[in-house]
Amino acid sequence: VKKSKSSSSVPKLPPGPWKLPIIGNIHQLVGSLPHHNLRKLAGTYGPLMHLQLGQVSTMVVSSPEIAKEVLKDHDIVFAQRPFLLASQIFSYGSTNIVFSPYGDYWRQMRKICVMELLSARRVQSFQGIREEEVLNLVKSISKDTGLSINLSKKISSLTYGMVARAAFGKRNKDQEEFISLVEEATFLAAGFSIVDLYPSVKVLEVITGMRSRLEKLRNRLDKILESIVNEHRDGNSSTEGGKSRETEDLVDVLLRVQKHGDLEFALTDDNIKAVILDMFSAGSETSSTTVEWAMSELIKNPQAMRRAQAEVRNVFSKKGNVDSSGLHELHYLNSITKETLRLHPSAPLLVPRESSEPCVINGHFVPAKTKVIVNAWAIARDPKHWNEAERFYPERFLESRIDFKGNDFQFIPFGAGRRICPGMIFAVPNIELPLAQLLYHFDWNLPNGMKEEELDMEESFGVTVRRKNDLILIPIRYHESLSYGN
């Protein structure tokens, strides 16, 4: 009796489905996308559930209360990121900030990101670049008015272009190749591949060809990044005193910090390459996906589309064009951004964490070295916290103070706690300016007489979840009198 009494007071592992030998619960993740399957399982086993995914002991969090415990209350314990094969290969010796384990070095890199690269002032300094790139998009679309265009491709190339110009100062000669390499690397970093589920079985890396594929990718990316860093260094040494802070691009900033920064640890060229790679992998597809989903939802919801168009046309009608200065007046558009991030968070499972020591969460025992996945997608669609949770209804945010800044745990598309996305301020205008321009200048139709309800909303697999099928639409010029400069 004594024994059973004392063992019942020790917290147990969270509940979870029955586990098969060797594979554990992997079979339960087959057939649909991970965030969908995990939500279904949480419906049976609860908001904190234990899964054995191959060799990896995993906790899945599916409620705002437990997300707060993990991401905020115990943020030091859960600050680490488990190493996936892809991140090991791309992380330049673990200095890549997105996946790096938490530690002194991470703290320094994060500080450089927040204070120097992604600060409100820096984001503001890229306003001109952003406006120019978006205007080029409008011009290119206006040439094809009345024809079917692949809007997904155009938006993706725009966002990569905006990040590329902010990072490198100009469009780079290897840009197209660079983008497709980053896209492939992001796809492989989702963490559900067989090599990540059996990390100690090294032979799998060889059998699947994953290691050599990743190494080839990394070598090519490294060459491109190396030439960019060297070109900047040569260019800066030929301009006396370097560039002014207002005209610096991100590589210039990193080179300046490397040379003159008051740093605890030296910043190597590899560190600079890792940060630049992070800006692309974390900052491009996430934003373009959001614009793509917002347009898809607006097509499916013509009333919301009309309201958004009326707002943007009203606010900018005197100027005859959309610019960054009036974006804060677009309250409905801002609600559309939020509602899109609620229903389609670009990283539905955030970036996984790992416990650095044993911990008790929601009354359950979580051993050290447990991988923790927060299903932000399921939380943001939970009918316990949202009325008509599956409906696209931007109005819900108009009168609400709920925001994505990491304090409202029912809505965490950027994560929360000490590893919250540092690119939020950079992301919002990169989403809202293109959206406002697309709505200001054009009306949008579906091709081949397709009806709104026939537009599919299927998602693809990856760290970022984008549309499975590209969004093909027909733009119709709204302002016939404007020349759009072509």
- Is the separation of the CB atoms in 210 and 193 below 8 Å? yes
Among 51, 77, 182, 351, binds ligand HEM (CB under 6 A): 351
Among 420, 433, 471, 473, binds ligand HEM (CB under 6 A): 420
Q: Is 394 in the site for ligand HEM (CB under 6 A)?
A: no
Q: Give dist(CA 104, CA 108) in Å, integer.
A: 6
Q: Which is nearer to ligand HEM, 278 or 292 (CB)?
A: 278
φ and ψ at 444, to 5 degrees? -130, 130
Q: Is 414 in the site for ligand HEM (CB under 6 A)?
A: yes
- Min dist CB 105 to ligand HEM, Å, is 12
Interface segment toward ligand HEM; rule CB under 6 A; list 2-10, 180-188, 278-286, 392-400: 278-286
Q: Is 415 in the site for ligand HEM (CB under 6 A)?
A: yes
Q: Which is nearer to ligand HEM, 98 or 188 (CB)?
A: 98
Interface segment toward ligand HEM; rule CB under 6 A; list 149-157, 173-181, 187-195, 414-422: 414-422
Q: Give dist(CA 113, CA 257) in Å, integer.
A: 11
Annotated ligand binding at 113? The verdict is: no
Q: Give dist(CA 431, CA 323) in Å, integer.
A: 13
Among 16, 413, 434, 462, binds ligand HEM (CB under 6 A): 413
- Is the separation of the CB atoms in 61 and 51 below 8 Å? no
Length of the chain (residues)? 486
Rg of the chain in Å (alpha carbons): 23
Q: Which of 258, 353, 277 is nearest to 66 (CA)?
A: 353
Q: Is 134 in the site for ligand HEM (CB under 6 A)?
A: no
Q: Is 422 in the site for ligand HEM (CB under 6 A)?
A: yes
Among 218, 364, 419, 466, binds ligand HEM (CB under 6 A): 419
Q: Is 421 in the site for ligand HEM (CB under 6 A)?
A: yes
Interface segment toward ligand HEM; rule CB under 6 A; list 15-23, 190-198, 276-284, 355-363: 276-284
Mark 306-325 as b/e (b = at least 16 C-beta within 10 Å).
ebbbebbbebbeeeeebbbe
- Min dist CB 359 to ligand HEM, Å, is 17
Q: Which is nearer to ligand HEM, 97 or 254 (CB)?
A: 97
- Min dist CB 413 to ligand HEM, Å, is 5
- Min dist CB 465 to ligand HEM, Å, is 10
Terminal CA-to-CA distance of the chain, rounded, Å? 85
Q: Which is nearer to ligand HEM, 142 or 284 (CB)?
A: 284
Residue 27 DSSP symbol? G
Binding mask 83-112 for ligand HEM (x = CB under 6 A): --------------xx-----------x--
Q: Give dist(CA 416, CA 242) in Å, integer.
A: 37
φ and ψ at 60, to 5 degrees? -120, 125
Q: Which is nearer to ligand HEM, 205 or 278 (CB)?
A: 278
Among 91, 290, 301, 370, binds ligand HEM (CB under 6 A): 290
Q: Which of 36, 38, 44, 35 is nearest to 15 (CA)?
A: 44
Q: Is 162 in the site for ligand HEM (CB under 6 A)?
A: no
Q: How far is CA 82 from CA 56, 212, 413, in A?
A: 10, 21, 20
- Min dist CB 272 to ligand HEM, Å, is 14
Q: Give dist(CA 301, CA 475) in Å, integer.
A: 17
Q: Give dist(CA 117, CA 111) in Å, integer.
A: 9
Mark 265-285 as b/e (b = at least 16 C-beta within 10 Å).
eebebbbbbbbbbbbbbbbbb
Q: H or E stretch including 241? A: none
Q: Is 271 in the site for ligand HEM (CB under 6 A)?
A: no
Q: Which is nearer to ligand HEM, 58 or 286 (CB)?
A: 286
Q: Which is nearer to ligand HEM, 54 or 413 (CB)?
A: 413
Q: Give dist(CA 483, CA 1) in Å, integer.
A: 86
- Min dist CB 204 to ligand HEM, Å, is 27
- Is the separation of the CB atoms in 361 and 386 below 8 Å? no
Interface segment toward ligand HEM; rule CB under 6 A; list 35-43, 61-69, 169-177, 340-348: 340-348
- Is the separation of the CB atoms in 249 and 169 below 8 Å? yes
Q: Which is nearer to ligand HEM, 282 or 315 (CB)?
A: 282
Binding site for ligand HEM (CB under 6 A): 97-98, 110, 113, 118, 278-279, 282-283, 286-287, 290, 345-347, 350-351, 413-416, 419-423, 426-427
Q: Which residues are annotated as a binding site for heme?
A: 421
